[in-house]
Amino acid sequence: MDLGSKIFVAGHRGLVGSAILKNLKERGYHNFVLRSHSELDLCNQAEVEKFFAEQRPEYVFLAAAFVGGIMANSKYRADFIYNNLQIQNNVIHCSYKYGVKKLLFLGSTCIYPRDAEQPIKETSLLTDELEYTNEPYALAKIAGLKMCESYNLQYGTNFIAVMPTNLYGPNDNFNLETSHVMPALIRKAFLGKCLQNKDWESLRKDLNIRPIEGVNGDASQSEIEKILSKYGIKAKENSVEIELWGSGKPLREFLWSEDMADACVFLMENVDFKDTYSQTDKNIKNCHINIGTQKEISIKDLFAMVCETVGYTSEIVYNIDKPDGTMRKLTDCSKLHSLGW
C-alpha cells in the first residue's frame, strides 16, 4: 500500500475498524473512503455494488460484522449467520469484481472446534465439532475465510483472512444484551458498584448514555432495579449481588484492539496470499492467520481483577445452570510470528 492508496475500512466505527483506522492514520495513510451503517448497508447487495462501482477502493479491511457475546449468540442465532454471510458475500465478491488489490477479512477464533488441541493451530479448522453456543457465527466466519481462499485460488485475488482472539479496547460494545465478555464484566462491575454505594446519580448517567432495553436514567428506581436484576445485577436489602453465566472456570485469551490493528496493517503491508501456505502443499487450505497473545486467564480471575479495579466489593454468584461456552481456546500464533509480526 502507498500512503495515498484509496482504502475502505468497513465497520470503521466499531472496536476493530476504529483501531485499524487509527493505526493507518498514525502510519500516514490519508485517502480513506468510509461509510456508516446508515450510509451504506453492507447486507444490501445493490447498495454495496453501487458503492464499489462508484468509489473503486484499492484496499479493503473487512472489519464490519454482526457480533456479540454468549447471551446474544444464544438468542439471535439466525441474525448471526444471515447478517454475517450477507456482509461477507457482498464485500468480498465486489472486491473481486471491481479489482481491489488486497483485502483483509477479520474472523474470530470461535471458528475452531470446541475441543481443539491447545494452543490452537490454524490446521485445527474443521477437524471436529464447533461450540454449540456460537455455532452460527462461527460457520459464517468459516465461510468468509473459505471464500477468500477460494477466490484467491480461482480468480487470483489477494485476499487474506485473520482470526483474532477475544478483543477489548476503545469503542467496545457495552450493551449488556449483546456485548462480549470483557465489556460486559466491566459494565456489570461498574453498575454493581453504583448500587453498592447508592450512587444513583452515576447510575442514571450511565443509563442515559446506554439505556438497557429502553430503560434510561429517567426511569423510576424500581424500574431501574428490575432491569438491572434481569441482567444479573441485583439490589438486596443491605447489599448487592452480581450473577454471571457459567462456572467462571473457562479460560480466555484477551488482546488489546490496537495491538490487533497493528498486526492487521503489518500483514496488509508485507504479506500476500502466497505467503500464507507452503508452496509444496498439494491441497491449499488453512491459509488464515491467528492473532493473539498466547496468554490466558479464567473468567473468575478476570472478573476479580475488574471488580478490584472498579471498586465493586459485594457478592458475586456464578450460575452453573447457564452455559460456559468453550472451556479453553488459546491461540498458537507461531504462523503470525514467522511472517514477521
Active site residues: 137
* C-alpha grid cell, residue 266: 503489518
CA 16 – CA 86 distance, rounded (Å): 19
Q: Which residue, 171, 173, 192, is CA-closest to 181?
A: 173
Q: Helix/strand/coil (H, E, C) string of the chain?
A: CCCCCCEEEECCCCHHHHHHHHHHHHCCCCCEECCCCCCCCCCCHHHHHHHHHHHCCCEEEECCCCCCCHHHHHHCHHHHHHHHHHHHHHHHHHHHHCCCCEEEEECCHHHCCCCCCCCECHHHCCCCCCCHHHHHHHHHHHHHHHHHHHHHHHHCCCEEEEEECEEECCCCCCCCCCCCHHHHHHHHHHHHHHHHCCCHHHHHHHHHHCCECCECCCCCHHHHHHHHHHCCEEECCCCEEEEEECCCCCEECEEEHHHHHHHHHHHHHHCCHHHHCCCCCCCCCCCCEEECCCCCEEHHHHHHHHHHHHCCCCEEEEECCCCCCCCECCECCHHHHHCCC
- Sole residue written with cell 469503542: 171
> What is d(CA 176, CA 108) in angstroms, rounded to the nearest whole number?
20
For CA atoms 158, 337, 261, 255, give the dihedral sign: positive
Cell numbers at 223, concatenated: 424500574
